[in-house]
Amino acid sequence: MLSQFFIHRPNFAMAISVLIVLIGALSYVGLPREQYPSISPPTVTVSTAYIGANAEVVAQNVAVPIEEAVKRPTDSMR
């Protein structure tokens, strides 16, 4: 019954649709975005010391295994 009203008056239906979109756009502009926390991507920081080793040994024996462990997906991420 109500649908027939809008079917027979497409200009009125279009005007109502435009009004709804404008009200939504004005409401979006008025949202208080300052209250929401800023979201930053997670970061991982690892520090290590390999006394007496040069950069190549540290890269092979420390950095590569740590990178592989960090990149490896865990059960909680699946």
pLDDT tens figures, 13-55: 999 999 999 999 998 888 887 877 888 888 878 788 888 888 8
pLDDT of residue 11: 93
Give CA–CA dist 73/4, Å, rounded: 56
pLDDT of residue 13: 92
Residue 61 near residue 50, CB atoms below 8 Å: yes
pLDDT of residue 15: 95
pLDDT of residue 21: 97
pLDDT of residue 74: 65
Query: Three-state DSSP class for 43?
Result: coil
Phi then psi for residue 19, to 5 deg, are -65, -40
**Which residues, other chains included, contact 70 with Cβ-Cβ below 8 Å and sequence gap of 6+?**
44, 46
**pTM of the predicted structure, to 2 decimals:** 0.42
- Alpha carbon dihedral 20, 23, 25, 26, in 10-degree steps, equals 180
